[in-house]
Every structure is written in C-alpha cells, then in structure tokens.
Amino acid sequence: MWGGRFSRGPSEIMEAINASIDFDRKLATQDIAGSRAHVAMLAATGIIDKADAEAIDAGLKTVAGELESGDFKFSRALEDIHMNVESRLAALIGPVAGRLHTARSRNDQVATDFRLYVRDFLDALDPALAALQRTLATRALEHAGTVMPGFTHLQSAQPVTFGHHLLAYVEMLSRDRGRVADCRARLNENPLGSAALAGTSFPIDRAMTAKALGFDRPTANSLDAVADRDFVIEALSASAIVAMHLSRLAEEIVIWCSAQFAFVRLSDAFSTGSSIMPQKRNPDAAELVRAKTGRIFGALQGLLTVMKGLPLAYSKDMQEDKEQAFDAFEAVALCVAAMDGMIGDLEPDARRMKEAAGAGFATATDLADWLVRTCAMPFREAHHVTGAIVAIASGRGCALEELTLADMQGVSSAITEDVFDVLGVERSVASRTSFGGTAPENVRAQAEQWLERLR
C-alpha cells in the first residue's frame, strides 16, 4: 500500500500495533454500502466512466456476498477493512478497482462507515427499549394493586404497589429513548467527500451520496467531519445511562430474589445453580446485567480519554475508537434483551410483599397526614405525635393498627376512632391519588396509557 514512498515493509511489531482488521471487520457491511454510493456518484458526475463504475459495483456486490457467506479471507497485512475490501475487489476486476478511491480518503471513509454502524445500532436499540417498556407496563397493569414496601435508604418508607415500581423504569426508559433519538438525529450527516481533511478538487456531489446512504445532509466542515467522534461518544453516553438504569433494576431483582426478601422468583430459564450447594438458585442474569455496566462505562471513559488531547484533524489514535465501542454496544443490546426476558419471567409473591409493606411502621406518614387533615395540627406537631405513637408500638413489638385507641389518645386526645381508616397498607396506597402517585387506580391508568403509546 505504501510502495511509492517506502522501500521496506513494516516490522512484525508495527504490523501488530497498526492493524485494525481484527475488529473493524465489523464495519464490512457499512464499508460496502459507502463504496457503492461513492462509485455511483463518481459515475454520475463524470469523474469515472460508467463502464468502470458498473464493473466496480458488480465487484463490490461479489465481495458483499463473500462477506455474508463467510468465504471472505481477511489479511492483517492489509491493515483494515477498507484495504481488505479494495484488495479483494482488485483481485476480482483488475486495476479498474483502483478508481474506487478517487476523491476520498480512508479518513472520511471510516468516519462514514462508523456513523452508519452507530446509526444501525441506535435503530436496533430503540425498538428493543420499547419492547422492554411494553413488558414492564404489561406487568405493571397486572400488578397495579399488588402492595409492596417502598424504600428510601433501603429502609421501609411507605407502601407502594409493584406496578407503580415497575412504571418508574418505564419512565426512565422513555428518557433513554429520547436520548437515542437525539443522538441519531445529530449523527445523521454524511462525512463522505471530506477526503483526508481538506475536501477534494474533484467535482463530487456530496448531497447525492448523503441521500443514497440515508443521511439528512453532508457535513459542513471537512476538518470536523474526519476528526469528529462525538457521535460515538454520545451513543456510548446514551448506552451508559441505559446500562445504569438496567443495573439499578438488576440490583433490585437480586435483592428481591434473596431468601431474606423473597419478593419475586425467577424461573429456571433465568436462574443458575451452585456446583457445591444444591439448594442454591442464583439470579445470575441480573448479576451479569449489573456487571456489564462497568464495561459500558469503561468504553465511554476510554474514548473520551483518547479524544481529549487530539489536534485536528485525524490522528492514528482514533483507530482506538472502535473496539471498546463495539463491545459496549453489543453488551447494552444483550442487557436490554436479558432484562426484557427477566421482567416477563419473574413472579412476585404478593402475600410476602404485602407482609413486608406493613413492617417498619410504613403507614406512619399516613397517620401524620391524618392528624393534619382531621385534627388541624401543624405538620411538625403531627410528626412529633406520630413519632411518639411509633415508639409505643415499637416497644410493644406490634404494628400501628394493632394499638388501641386509648394508647394513641394517651399521646394526643384529639385522635378519634377514624384514625384506623388510614393505617392499613392497602388503605395507604389507595389514598395516594395525587398525579403520579401509587394509588392502584393511577397505576392502572398510567399502565394503560403507556401500552397505548407503545402499541
């Protein structure tokens, strides 16, 4: 490839550190698509003649077929996917293959290929997130009235419903999908035709290649076009936030599956056993979703670090933009699919959840609110009275609703028999009717609205 300028080939070490074909072969489909659009434009603008363009396009179709069938032979000596494809094209159609690289550089070629790859990833990620939202919303509707503990600091706080808890993740995934859509809109510009860094003197039609490849427009600055990897960083950032959300849910599944909580059970399809402890059922799929978040975060940080000190335009450092990104994109896609499977699979133990929801004096806030509404107490006084009543119940080892009216009136004479109407966990969740609250009627309405939006 460097025969005109170099008299010797690279050392084995140079070849090893310089070659990217071991990972950038993943761009093969996008590379062929970009080359076919480029050669069609070269012919349409008269830069190369029609017969040569037809020969090149036919050869590229043959190469695409070999890649798809697995018959293509990759060579590390040819460095990257671009030169591997061009070399095979030359073997198929002869020297005319050399015309394909007219008016382009590997710099704008790889920028185009990578944008196409990231766009394909985002186009697959969005419906996968939507599918997970549907599964969550379906289970939320099913369990709109299933009471469970709500936590702050992982301590019992107030009763909520399992459906309400699942809908929280539907909201998170909605924001994730918004980020995916924003990222796709920003990346959808065509770098092809920017050449090495300064554009080209050939009379190319960049709008034509942009349209052929499904881009909205050509990039406006050739230096930025070949130097930019914001589209990868942004896709990794969106993926990292998705992974963080999935990791939070995975952590909850791990906790809920434990014998100490026993809120849910995963079937054999999403559980593993132990080589030494026959009683074990491990939620390994959830644990691996939680763990893969690290490699996704790492890919984002890695690329930010690669790019942070690079002058314009292209530097070989930017070859390090792909390997971790490919890995991260595959990991987040797998995590979304695994979580979708787990949410559809898990079975809540409604009795155990309700029992736990009443522990830890979870209806204490309901009592305080009742004192404010019914007895016209200032909230701070109601908070103090409620705390004193909780102390009595704690000392006796009983629930608030198990105290007598006399017990409560010993703290505040204003308390009446009506207080018992608000102290059960089911009464508690039913009372949370404010918009966005956990009342079963709210949860059913929200779940149905989401399912309609996602249909």
Crossing angle of helices 230-257 and 284-307, rounded to 10°? 160
Q: What is 297-320 written as a DSSP string?
A: HHHHHHHHHHHTTPPSS--GGGGG
Half-sphere exposure of 11 (CA within 13 A, CB side): 3
* Secondary element (H or E) of residue 68: helix 50-69
Of 136, 156, 167, 133, nearest to 442 by C-alpha is 167
Task: Measure the CA–CA gap between 382 and 370, rounded to whole angstroms.
Answer: 9
The catalytic residues are 153, 274
Of 283, 434, 285, 346, nearest to 143 by C-alpha is 346
Task: Measure the CA–CA gap between 389 and 292, rounded to whole angstroms.
Answer: 46
Of 226, 223, 224, 216, nearest to 186 by C-alpha is 216
Task: Measure the CA–CA gap between 140 and 134, rounded to whole angstroms.
Answer: 10
